[in-house]
Structure 1
Amino acid sequence: MGTELHGHTKTVLCLSTAENGEIFSGGEQGELCLWSADGIFISKHTYQGDDDITSVICSQLHPNQLYAAAGTRILTLDKRQLSDPVCAFTFNEEEINELVLSTKEEYLAACDDSGSIKIINLFDRHIHRTLKKHSNICAALTFHPKRPSTLFSGGYDSKLIQWDYSRGRSVCIVEMADFGIHGGESNAYLINPPFVHCLAADSTGQYLACGIESALVQLFHINKRNPEHLVTLCGHTEGVSQVHFPRGKLNHLVSGGNDGKILIWDLEAIHQAGATCNGVSNGESSNLHLLPSNVANLPLATIDHGAKVNWLTSLSSNEDVRIIVADTLDRVILYPYPS
């Protein structure tokens, strides 16, 4: 069972955790809440205008600093005085979908509904680059954790793009339609377009996970020049809205979907089993079972959350790992990590 955190009055849209374990949650109509690592409510602030807080990200290098996307604005905030933004960036022309910080926090990237990506230099507070290659909404971003100047983006044009943002150019474009389920029954894997909803890179810089509208998670190896597709993970029955590599759980991936399911994937076990989504396995695995549609499924554990997942992240303290989830309601839920 999860622990519910209450403080919002509207739907919670996004989450982020600080280095000290504090939890920030952003929601509809400008609501931002702060919680302790133990889930104790600390404060709530509502920012001017009716803009939703669609993304929030905490600095891991500067303990008091965070950024929040409110419509087309990016608010720079100090947690000691959250009511008054330090400054606001207004470089994006349409609603921002996600904010991400580079590893050394020199740059902040923001993607929006126009398909544009704005790279902001945080030292001089000026625009560094504008990247535009997506022909539809750009929904997700992640920086490569080990390779300076490399950024990945995903959008509703069903493309994953690798960027060299220092030069302002795309290096590689991957079509999501090239991977996944082909033939067989008519189900979510076949009839839903392969829009990219979310991206996550693991801290080692080896894996990139892409959550897809066609209920799949596409996993890539990013230790080479261009993304190399490794495996398609099939376990959700509706669009995958969130993917996350939890701290303190090496080779684990967490995915959340519109089906209200949260799945834990053991990537090392999947590689050892040699399983693919056509049900073929090169080895034995006690975790291997088939969905009714005869699609191989290898989750380590499943949490029946019961509502569409808007955002998920995690907290790690010593060996205690918790999954934090925002959904379509005015709450945040903390789950113990499945054993």
Structure 2
Amino acid sequence: MAVKWTGGHSSSILCLSTNTEGLVASGAERGELTLWHGGGGGTPAGQLQLPKEDDVTSLVFSPRCPTRLYTSHGEAISLLDVRSLKEPLERFQVNQEEINCLSVNETDQFLAAADDSGVIKVIDLDNKKVTRSLRHSNICSSVGFRPQRPQSLVSCGLDMQVMLWNLQKARPLWTTNLQECGSKEDSPQPAGQFFNPPLAHSLSVASCGNIFACGAQDGKVRIFRVTGVKFEQELEFQGHSLGVSQVLFMPEGYCLLTGGNDGKILLWDVSSDVGKQQKSPAKTLQRRKAQAPASTRKGGKLNQVASNEHAGVLPKLTIEHGEKVNWISCLEIKGSKRVLVADQSSSVSVYPLPEL
């Protein structure tokens, strides 16, 4: 069973973020923001009421200064000091529609904000002004700077486009349409998903900076490799029976967490597929016809699941959470990794993760 962190919200939690000191931030509907002591059993460490007419849709801690927290609420971005949750240190009002995702590059110089109009506003945090305005043709759902490459970022949206950007250019370096990429023969659609378009909901970049994952409405997870000014699909597998709302590479290596509208959280190890350059995603899928038995956790018990010889890539762990997943994050508590889950409820669910 999950450990529940309660008492921090009265509304559905929409987003989560963790810093290097074990502090967790959660944002909810109606402007609610709460800080939690992760190592202290999930006790609330502070609360702030932002404007009630705006949902808190994204949170990200500064990679350079763990006490600085960027939060989006409505079309606004507020920079907060978590040591004293009062008035924002800075406020940016540069997006025209509701912001869906924030990302800060590792030098803490640029902040990217993706919104419902498809626009990504890139703010120079030193000069406090917009330096780039990038665009999707539909809602931009997720954006992420690449580690070790502070001028490079990737994005995805409900236009089914995945894009690679460099801040020196206003146009994308490379674009892929999820409806056109991948191997249909090796990745059959599950029942009821055949006509479900791959609207892209979430992406996450691995710590190496060259590998990133994208989760889409068709239930599939796609893994891409960046090579120079373009990227290619390395792997595609059926992750969930409904849309993949969240993907998250864990720190270091290629362990990937995914959360779906089917109420499941899955843990994947794709290191054998992306650890070296693959020539053909189709050959990768054909080679991975069977894998070691996966595990499932339900009701607090860890059980073995028989491998499916046609499954290709199988999750190492399945958590039957039971609620549509809004956000996932990862935290180490007392030497053990945990996955934090936000859903339609007002509490944070915490599950232990095995060592792979």
Q: TM-score, normalised by structure 2?
A: 0.88
Aligned residues: 334
Correspondence list, 1:270-289, <5 A: 280-281=286-287, 285-287=291-293, 289=307
* 3-state DSSP of counterpart to 2:14: strand
Correspondence list, 1:14-163, <5 A: 14-38=15-39, 39-132=42-135, 134-163=136-165
Match of 1:164 in 2: 166
* 3-state DSSP of counterpart to 1:29: helix
Distance verdict in 2 for CA 1:277–1:311, change over 3 Å? farther
CA distance in 1, matches of 2:138, 2:107: 30
CA distance in 1, matches of 2:4, 2:150: 38
Distance verdict in 2 for CA 1:12–1:277, change over 3 Å? farther
Alpha-carbon distance, 1:87 to partner: 2.1
CA RMSD of aligned residues (A): 2.3
Distance verdict in 2 for CA 1:105–1:278, change over 3 Å? closer
Distance verdict in 2 for CA 1:121–1:185, change over 3 Å? closer
CA distance in 1, matches of 2:329, 2:283: 26
Structure 1 vs Structure 2: percent identity of aligned residues?
Answer: 36
Question: Which residues of structure 1 form unaligned runs of 5+?
Answer: none
Supply the AA of the counterpart residue of 1:89.
Answer: F
Asked if structure 2 preserves the Cα contact closer than 8 Å seen for 1:270 and 1:298, the reply is: no
CA distance in 2, matches of 1:148, 1:54: 24
Choose 254-263 or 58-67, whichever is displaced more.
58-67
Match of 2:202 in 1: 198
Supply the AA of the counterpart residue of 1:285.
Answer: Q
Alpha-carbon distance, 1:172 to partner: 0.6
Correspondence list, 1:161-310, <5 A: 161-180=163-182, 182=184, 187-247=191-251, 250-269=253-272, 280-281=286-287, 285-287=291-293, 289-290=307-308, 295-310=311-326
Alpha-carbon distance, 1:223 to partner: 4.3
* 3-state DSSP of counterpart to 2:224: strand
Asked if structure 2 preserves the Cα contact closer than 8 Å seen for 1:200 and 1:244, the reply is: yes
CA distance in 2, matches of 1:327, 1:264: 18
Choose 82-91 or 173-182, whichever is displaced more.
173-182
CA distance in 2, matches of 1:87, 1:271: 40
Alpha-carbon distance, 1:336 to partner: 0.7
Asked if structure 1 preserves the Cα contact closer than 8 Å seen for 2:205 and 2:213, the reply is: yes
Supply the AA of the counterpart residue of 2:328.
Answer: L
* 3-state DSSP of counterpart to 1:81: coil
CA distance in 1, matches of 2:218, 2:344: 20
Q: TM-score, normalised by structure 1?
A: 0.92
CA distance in 2, matches of 1:135, 1:112: 11
- 1:28-75 deviations in Å (ceiling 9; x for gaps): 000000001221211221112410000011112112211110000001
